[in-house]
Amino acid sequence: MEFEIEEILSLVKKKMREQGGYSRDAYKQYVVETIDYFLEKGKLTDDDNLEFIEDRLMDMWGTVGREQ
């Protein structure tokens, strides 16, 4: 699961740079969008603990926000 979180985080950071959204609300939106994208592509399933993944990514906001 750690690999998926890192892969999602990488795509979220890319979206932040491309779309210029650097607020916590924008970050949350990108996290949700990216999780949905991974579900559509079959990289995640409903059997994965999606709430845990989203919570882990949101916990990383402090670090990500400082990087941007």
Cα–Cα distance for residue pair 35/13, rounded to 1 Å = 13
pLDDT digits (tens, 9 = 90+) for 18-40: 999 999 999 999 999 999 999 99
Report the pLDDT value the prediction gives residue 68, as an integer from 0 to 100: 74
Q: What is the pTM of this model?
A: 0.93
Instruction: With beta carbons less than 8 A apart as the criterion, state whether 8 and 38 touch.
Output: yes
For residue 61, what are the CA distances in angstroms to 23, 33, 41, 43, 45?
9, 16, 25, 23, 24
Q: Give yes or no for residue 11 having a pLDDT over 90.
A: yes
pLDDT of the residue at 57: 97
The pLDDT, as a whole number, for residue 3 is: 87
Cβ contact 64:13 at 8 Å: yes
